[in-house]
């Protein structure tokens, strides 16, 4: 018989179910069937329901679904006893053992999850913003109520990154995580690179193909990836921070000419999320960056994701696969449901269990940098730039001026810089940007190694 123990009991781990082998003189009681109530029947919700229906998992039974316009959402392939509602409170107050939240956003999702836990239900969610902002509080509540809160689908969709960090690499001391965590941005940048089109054209194509939302702000400005990085930093690096403390920069500045120059330098460009612990500081950012062509990150194309974790003892471990989409994300959700049923793992509760070290958050990485200027050409520009960079103790590594076909009054060229702090470079660029030869503000991208 599968039992979910009281987390306050000293008998075992707060979040790992125990197993009773039954009496030596009688048959083992039938395993409990966990009733599942789901809030949200969009792309991921449909896929979760499909998996539960087709796999016929004997330990899980979908009993209720909440979605707006429920009559239009109903499908013939679900069991007729599945109840439909457009009121999330009906799910929270139902006889479900587990509530699955797949609507996203902070409110009212946070209240739904809180109410479900308080009413004695475990929760599975794919909501990275919810976990990034309220993960600590909700996990404390889950523990106090003797319930589970699992969120394996909140980072990198169907890639088991959180379980890999928390269980597979438990014997190591992780110091760094970085990767490509937003499939929409990766799809757009891949299109700019392969087709030589502008960012806006690639974005429009991504929207028409269903890879980007009508409002792509969370993706292209880095907010989506930042929430995922917040969760990874907490689970992998034992550092709790709010997403707003992590600097993020838009990929809108990247144009086809940047890929032309990047390839000349044996690099490509991707949106990179990275967090690294050094002493009492967590260095973290989400930004478009140049990555070497021989890096695993350079080979991530389309809507795929990749996360690379670096440990003190085990070195670098790579997790890659489909980071978005209905089916991959649904696989992670169902895996969390099965984990609650079996009680075999404790991954998602890492927020509540890993000791957290107080660290300040900084984006002041020391990197080589790529700086693309677009100027109204005249003699002496490079000499003036060298003077300003020198004043800020920044050394020029190379000058790239091989982009034919551009007019003199809008000429792009690139200067690469030796490793320097982002703060020092920011001051130099502010001074340079005021010069009258600039057609637009210089584009600054870190060059990773």
* pTM score, whole prediction: 0.86
CB-neighbour burial class of residue 278 (10 A; exposed 0-12, middle 13-18, buried 19+):
exposed
Rounded Cα distance between 416 and 129, Å, is 36
Residue 274 has pLDDT above 50, yes or no: yes
Instruction: Inform me whether the pLDDT recorded for 344 exceeds 70.
Output: no
pLDDT at 289: 98
Coil, helix or strand at residue 429: helix
pLDDT of 309 higher than 80: yes
Task: Give me the catalytic one of 32, 74, 228, 427.
Answer: 228
Q: How far lies 154's CA from each of 129, 191, 411, in Å?
A: 8, 26, 43
Residue 4 makes CB contacts below 8 A (sequence gap 6+) with: 17, 122, 146, 147, 148, 340, 343
pLDDT at 272: 98
The predicted pLDDT at position 6 comes to 35
- Is the confidence at residue 24, as pLDDT, over 70? no
Count of CA atoms in the C-beta half-sphere (13 A) of 402: 10
What's the rounded mean pLDDT across residues 234-251?
A: 93
Q: Is the pLDDT of residue 10 over 50?
A: no
The band of 404, judged by pLDDT with boundaries at 50, 70 and 90, is: confident
Contact 267, 261 (CB under 8 A): no
- Mean pLDDT score of the chain, rounded to an integer? 88
Active site residue 228: yes
Whether residue 432 has pLDDT greater than 70 = yes
The per-residue pLDDT for range 137-176, each reduced to its tens digit, is: 999 899 999 999 999 999 987 788 998 888 888 889 999 9
What is d(CA 289, CA 405) in angstroms, rounded to the nearest whole number? 25
pLDDT of residue 350: 44
Residue 358: pLDDT band (50, 70, 90) is: low
More confident residue, 19 or 80: 80
Of residues 3 and 226, more confidently modeled: 226
Domains annotated on the chain, with CATH: 2-154 (3.40.50.720), 163-322 (3.30.360.10), 366-447 (3.30.70.260)
Reply yes or no on whether the pLDDT at 23 is more than 50: no
Confirm if 126 and 44 have CB atoms less than 8 A apart.
yes
11: pLDDT confidence band, cut at 50, 70 and 90? Answer: very low
Confidence of residue 26 (pLDDT cuts 50, 70, 90): low
pLDDT beyond 50 at 239: yes
φ/ψ (deg, to 5) at 370: -105, 125
Give the mean pLDDT of 298-311. Answer: 91
pLDDT tens digits, one per residue of 41-86: 998 999 999 999 999 888 999 999 999 888 787 888 999 999 999 9
The predicted pLDDT at position 136 comes to 86
Q: Where is average pLDDT lowest: 18-22, 26-30, 85-89, 434-438? A: 18-22
Mean pLDDT of 10-36: 53
**Dist. CA 354–CA 362, nearest whole Å:** 22
Average pLDDT over residues 330-347: 82
- Give the C-alpha separation, 411 to 407, whole Å: 6
Is 383 a residue whose pLDDT tops 50?
A: yes
The whole-number pLDDT of residue 20 equals 42
pLDDT in tens, 103-125: 999 999 999 999 999 999 999 99
pLDDT of the residue at 158: 77
What's the rounded mean pLDDT across residues 335-340? Answer: 92
Is residue 354 pLDDT above 60, yes or no?
no
Statement: residue 381 has pLDDT above 90: yes
């Amino acid at each position: 018989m599968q039992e979910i123990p009281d987390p306050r009991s000293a008998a075992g781990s707060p979040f790992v179910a125990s197993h009773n082998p039954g009496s030596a003189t009688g048959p083992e009681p039938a395993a409990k069937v966990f009733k599942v109530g789901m809030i949200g029947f969009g792309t991921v919700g449909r896929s979760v329901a499909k998996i539960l229906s087709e796999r016929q998992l004997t330990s899980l039974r979908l009993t209720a679904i909440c979605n707006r316009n429920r009559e239009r959402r109903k499908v013939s392939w679900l069991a007729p006893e599945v109840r439909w509602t457009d009121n999330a409170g009906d799910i929270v107050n139902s006889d479900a053992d587990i509530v699955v939240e797949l609507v996203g956003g902070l409110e009212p999702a946070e209240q739904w999850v809180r109410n479900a836990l308080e009413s004695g239900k475990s929760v599975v969610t794919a909501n990275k913003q919810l976990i990034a902002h309220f993960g600590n509080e909700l996990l404390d509540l889950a523990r106090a109520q003797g319930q589970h809160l699992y969120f394996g689908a909140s980072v990198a969709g169907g890639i088991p990154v959180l379980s890999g960090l928390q269980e597979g690499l438990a014997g190591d001391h992780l110091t760094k995580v970085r990767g490509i965590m937003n499939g929409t941005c990766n799809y757009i940048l891949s299109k700019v690179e392969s087709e030589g089109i502008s960012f806006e054209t690639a974005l429009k194509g991504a929207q028409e193909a269903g890879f980007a939302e009508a409002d792509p702000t969370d993706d292209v400005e880095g907010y989506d990836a930042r929430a995922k990085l917040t969760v990874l930093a907490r689970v992998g690096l034992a550092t709790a921070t709010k997403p707003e403390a992590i600097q993020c920069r838009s990929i809108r500045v990247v144009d086809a000419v940047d890929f032309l120059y990047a390839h000349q330098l044996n690099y490509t460009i991707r949106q990179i999320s990275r967090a690294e612990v050094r002493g009492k500081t967590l260095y973290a950012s989400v930004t478009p960056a140049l990555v070497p062509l021989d890096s695993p990150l350079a080979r991530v194309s389309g809507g795929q994701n990749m996360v690379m974790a670096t440990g003190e003892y085990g070195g670098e471990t790579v997790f890659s696969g489909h980071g978005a989409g209905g089916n991959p994300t649904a696989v992670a959700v169902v895996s969390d449901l099965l984990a609650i049923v079996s009680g075999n793992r404790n991954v998602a509760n890492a927020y509540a269990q890993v000791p957290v070290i107080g660290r300040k958050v900084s984006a002041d990485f020391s990197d080589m940098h790529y700086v693309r200027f677009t100027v109204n050409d005249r003699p002496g520009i490079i000499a003036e730039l060298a003077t300003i960079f020198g004043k800020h103790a920044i050394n020029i590594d190379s000058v790239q001026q091989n982009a034919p076909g551009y007019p003199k009054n809008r000429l792009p060229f690139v200067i690469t810089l030796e490793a320097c702090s982002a703060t020092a470079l920011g001051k130099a660029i502010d001074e340079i940007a005021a010069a009258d030869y600039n057609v637009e503000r210089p584009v600054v991208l870190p060059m990773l190694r």
